[in-house]
Structure 1
Amino acid sequence: MRELIEWLLDSDPALRWQVERDLVGAPPEVWEATRARVAVEGFGARLLAEQGADGMWDGGAFFPRGFRGDEGGQPWTATTWSLNSLREWGVDAGVLQGTVELLEANCRWEYQGLPYWGGEVDCCINAWTLANGVWLGADVDGIARWFARHQLEDGGWNCEWVEGARRSSFHSTLNALKGLLAHGGMSEVRRAGEEYLLERGLFRRLSTGEVVGEWVGQFRSPFRWGYSVLNAADYFRQVGRRDPRMAEAIGMIRAKRQADWTWLQDGRHPGRVWFEIDVAEGEPSKWLTLCAMRVLRWWDEG
């Protein structure tokens, strides 16, 4: 185990501070000092350097300026994805002082040119905007209320609601829950969304009990928009809701642990990136190993 922890600690500050806090149990002054380094070295510094004078990354809100959909994958370089990464890596919001105002003035959604901090019609996009807005101090309470109005009868959400979808999506529901958790309010709305996933054991159809898709057991880093039982279990860890209906999904996570106690990369989501932050498919992933280890530690402690 010592070798495993040393391997995890030999990482970019964006990952290392989380290992120190969640696995090593280092005192706050240690992991907070490492977290402060994220903005000035490694992944965080590199991505911060790509921000334009207009406050945006790659000239667009969700897609880069000039994107025509012919690249073979979703580009991950525009403003929303870049903010997601910086927030998840633990960058202090103060480093991005002025970004809220710049995006308010300059950034519009590709969908109908809507103002950036007002959100748009896609559940996942609105979830990320809600989380990023809370982090940076933007007024995004209206987006939180939007989720209450667009929750489907089964308790979850579906980005295809604008096309008439009336059944929730695992992907959309998890992303919505993450955004609402960051907001901190709408507890009843969030609870209903959690029940949608828990009633299905995090990976089964409610009607037949069948697995909803092979993607539930594919662990990809970064998670991006994608659902997996690991991604969902990590959400419930953050909420602190240990529910027996998750037991089979936890077993799936445990079963994917290698003999050396690492978890393998199941493949990156295709598309243009500023730079890679994790290993290629089939190699041991520090990000996935960190996530899986803290999920299992949390679960086993209960």
Structure 2
Amino acid sequence: METNQNIRYAIEESIRFLESNPDLAMDRCGDSRRKWNGAWWHMATLYEMGEVKQIPESAIARAKYLLEARTWPTFIISADDHPTSETDRMKMDCCHCELAVYYMILMAYGCDLDKELPWIREWFLKHQLSDGGLNCDPAAYIHSNKSSIVSTLPPLEAILWYTNREFTAQEAVFLDQGARYLIEHRLVCSKQNGHIIDTEWLKPCFPRFFEYDILRGMSFLAEWSRRRNKPLPADLLNEGMQQLNSHIEAAGLRIGRQVFDPQGPWGGHTFALLEAVAEIGDVSPYLTRQLTGIIGQLEHASNE
């Protein structure tokens, strides 16, 4: 009960921060991305908790304006992609996973970005590599043509979860190729040698923002199978369940790591809500909900 109360107080603190904080204004767009106490991270945490509607409308309006008027709508790969005017050079540049997180927050809130900012969805579909994934490193599009699992998941989620109509042929290919990419990598493994790419991915992480963990990949594949009416990769998901086993207890799934770990690559300032929902060892209701959905689909598939 005390924990719930702490989270409630922390939500109220984040709401006050978003109501009063001007750092989504156009002249300070870089500050909004400050890890981890900038406005976007407060919004993303509420979104991942399923509390997106608690984000103040004023913050949503500022966020949408930032994407609309203060963001360069091109992923910079070659010299021709750079902005040329002084005004455009002042704009924020994005990568795939960052843009997808922004997109999902605003779409979940109720914004129609496909109507108002159609370039965002086109951006995701345009940058899928031949292996089925995406990469936030522009060099991958010139040299290796190899994707990054971290860069791939948010754009896949954006298209899968925020398409409230039949998928277009291009979207269907995008999702199916993305699923193939994850399956071929067995969620966490190198295709070359079969070794786990990063053992940290085996630890459930919350909130994730752009970061990857095995549950995130499993959740995508389960929902992709359902939405696309494709066979559930049950053996792979059961493998994933075994990898998660040490974090599962009767009450649910325990958090195994924090994206903002001070000892990790992305340490930085935090805020009350982030710390309240991210305690390592705590059972996360948000991660447990994802896990329960996957278990339900595995049970359904085994009964067919």
Mark yes or no: TM-score above 0.5. Answer: yes
Matched position secondary structure for 2:276: coil
By relative contact order (CA 8 Å, sep 6+), the higher-ranking structure is 2
The match for 1:82 is 42
Q: Do the aligned residues in 2 keep the contact of 1:144 with 1:183 (CA within 8 Å)?
A: no
- Give the aligned length: 256
Q: Residues 182, 82 of structure 1: CA spacing in aligned structure 2 closer, same or farther, 3 A cutoff?
A: farther
The match for 1:161 is 138
- 1:63-101 Cα deviation digits (max 9, x unpaired): 448x6xxxxxxx122232222222223336486434454
Q: Do the aligned residues in 2 keep the contact of 1:62 with 1:80 (CA within 8 Å)?
A: no
Q: Do the aligned residues in 2 keep the contact of 1:121 with 1:162 (CA within 8 Å)?
A: no
- 1:135-189 Cα deviation digits (max 9, x unpaired): 3414232111111221111110011125655211111111221122233152321
Q: Residues 147, 55 of structure 1: CA spacing in aligned structure 2 closer, same or farther, 3 A cutoff?
A: same
What letter corresponds to residue 269 of structure 1 in structure 2?
V
What letter corresponds to residue 177 of structure 1 in structure 2?
L
Where do 1:234-249 residues align within 5 Å?
234-241=219-226, 242-244=232-234, 245-249=236-240
Q: Residues 53, 221 of structure 1: CA spacing in aligned structure 2 closer, same or farther, 3 A cutoff?
A: closer
CA distance in 2, matches of 1:105, 1:222: 25
Q: Residues 247, 63 of structure 1: CA spacing in aligned structure 2 closer, same or farther, 3 A cutoff?
A: farther
With normalisation by structure 1, the TM-score equals: 0.70
The match for 2:100 is 127
Where do 1:52-67 residues align within 5 Å?
52-53=19-20, 56=23, 61=29, 63-64=31-32
With normalisation by structure 2, the TM-score equals: 0.69
Q: Cα RMSD (Å) of the superposition?
A: 3.5
- 1:97-155 Cα deviation digits (max 9, x unpaired): 3445434556745994326xxxx441111111221232341423211111122111111
The match for 2:156 is 177
What letter corresponds to residue 301 of structure 1 in structure 2?
H
Gaps of 5+ in 2: 77-88, 227-231, 261-267
Matched position secondary structure for 1:51: helix
CA distance in 1, matches of 2:162, 2:292: 26
CA distance in 1, matches of 2:30, 2:178: 25
Q: Residues 94, 264 of structure 1: CA spacing in aligned structure 2 closer, same or farther, 3 A cutoff?
A: closer
Identity across matched positions, percent = 17
CA distance in 2, matches of 1:91, 1:285: 15
Matched position secondary structure for 2:145: coil
Q: Do the aligned residues in 2 keep the contact of 1:55 with 1:106 (CA within 8 Å)?
A: no
Choose the corresponding residue for 2:255, options 245, 248, 265: 265
Q: Do the aligned residues in 2 keep the contact of 1:265 with 1:281 (CA within 8 Å)?
A: yes
Where do 1:1-302 residues align within 5 Å?
11=4, 41-53=8-20, 56=23, 61=29, 63-64=31-32, 75-91=35-51, 93=53, 96-105=56-65, 108=70, 112-114=89-91, 120-136=93-109, 137=111, 138=113, 139-162=116-139, 164=142, 166-184=145-163, 185=167, 186-241=171-226, 242-244=232-234, 245-258=236-249, 260-270=250-260, 271-275=268-272, 276-278=275-277, 280-302=279-301
